[in-house]
Amino acid sequence: MKFISLNRMLERFGEPKQENYQVAFDGEMNTNNLEEIYNRFHTGHLPDGYRGHAIAVSDMIELYGEGGREFHYVDERGFQAVSFGEMYPVQEPVMEL
């Protein structure tokens, strides 16, 4: 299910499921602009504490704050808003060995 467009995901596997994603970074970005976030995690200097590959198609960007949470699927061209069914609590980063 990695590195495929949202349309292909929907055709083959159905809606993306929150449990298939792990937190790779949780921190302040000083922007909610998805293009800026994508560029930072795809080609930019990755922030301390980032645990993951360069952001790519099929990854998810979560924006959250006092107003709630939004999820955006990184698609082949741009981003698609995704609404997960039952929401899980914000994940705490997990230490990997």
Query: Per-domain residue ranges for the chain?
Result: 6-82
Give me the pLDDT at residue 59, please.
96
What is the C-alpha to C-alpha distance for residues 68 and 94, in angstroms, rounded to an integer?
A: 23
Predicted model pTM = 0.83
Give the tens place of pLDDT for each residue, 42-94.
987 888 889 889 999 999 999 988 888 899 999 999 999 999 765 555 555 55
Sign of torsion over alpha carbons 82, 84, 87, 89:
negative
Token pair listed for 97? 């060995």
H or E stretch at 42: helix 34-42
Which amino acid is present at 44? G
